Amino acid sequence: MLLLPHLQAAGAAAQAAPVAPQAVPIIGEIQFLTLNNSADVWSGGTMVVGGQNVILPRNLLMDYPANRLTLQQTFAQAPAACVANGESGLAKFDKCNLSGHGTFAMIQANRISAGVIAGDVFLQKGLDIIQGNVTYINYAEGYFRLDGNPNDATTGVMVRMNDPTSRHTVQRGAGCAGTANNRSPDPRFTEDPEPTRSI
């Protein structure tokens, strides 16, 4: 009889203590993005950022600059060539992504025994930051140039607003790919629908 309590105590000592979740901030370019179930608007999936596999749980809403979408909506609202391939177009290695780079992701995640699970995801096209003096404005085609020769349409850095609906700017002409009628046709990266002033 004395042996039984001793065995119970030994068994309790052998059990591993539960591991507390650890906060994991992940920032970088999306390399791969998968969706578990394209028929389920609340479906989860996985994302690989900087080589780190991140579980995107069911019911997660991902933030864009002026939009919020589920993972399934992200895939469903992708450009037609991406939808045809079952891709989002946001990952660097998506066949439909011809830009050569992936969308930039900032993720707040938790590391638990099952892996790294996202709690908050913010996506943006890139981290480009430019500044300079405006040296040319093309009102007809909706762009301006910085730090070029004054009144010269060919020098300096061309800048266009991300405006998929063309609400605030003209989105065609110089700098647009091929015969595209809109320079920023991806509605997932839409502008804020509230009235704004563009200077």
Look at residue 165 and give its three-state secondary structure: coil
Roughly how many angstroms between the first and final C-alpha of the chain, as a whole number?
Answer: 86
Mean of all residue pLDDT scores within the chain:
84
Is 13 a residue whose pLDDT tops 70? no
pLDDT per residue as tens digits for the range 134-185: 999 998 888 899 999 999 999 999 887 777 777 777 777 776 665 555 556 6
Residue after which a domain boundary falls, among 85, 104, 124:
124
| 101 and 137 part of one domain | no
Residue 7: inside a domain? no
Residue 10: inside a domain? no
Residue 168: inside a domain? yes
> Concatenated DSSP letters for 82-144?
HHHHT--S-STT-TT--SSSPPEEEEEEEEETTEEEEEEEEEES--------EEEEETTTTEE
- What confidence score (pLDDT) does residue 16 get? 62
pLDDT per residue as tens digits for the range 81-129: 899 999 999 999 999 988 888 999 999 999 998 899 999 999 998 767 7
Residue 13: inside a domain? no
| 65 and 135 part of one domain | no
| 182 and 98 part of one domain | no
Q: Please tell me which residue, 72 or 81, carries the higher pLDDT value.
A: 72
| 170 and 185 part of one domain | yes
- What confidence score (pLDDT) does residue 85 get? 94
pLDDT per residue as tens digits for the range 179-190: 555 556 677 777
- What confidence score (pLDDT) does residue 103 get? 92
- What confidence score (pLDDT) does residue 14 get? 56
Side chain identity at residue 84, one-letter code: A
Count how many domains the chain has: 2
pTM for the model = 0.71
Query: Domain of 87: which CATH number?
Result: 2.40.50
| 75 and 31 part of one domain | yes
| 118 and 139 part of one domain | no
pLDDT per residue as tens digits for the range 16-46: 655 677 899 999 999 999 999 999 999 999 9
Is 1 a residue whose pLDDT tops 50? no
Residue after which a domain boundary falls, among 86, 105, 124:
124
Residue after which a domain boundary falls, among 68, 99, 124:
124
Domain that holds residue 153: 130-190
Look at phi and psi of residue 190 and say left if phi exceeds 0, alpha if psi is from -120 to 50, else beta.
beta
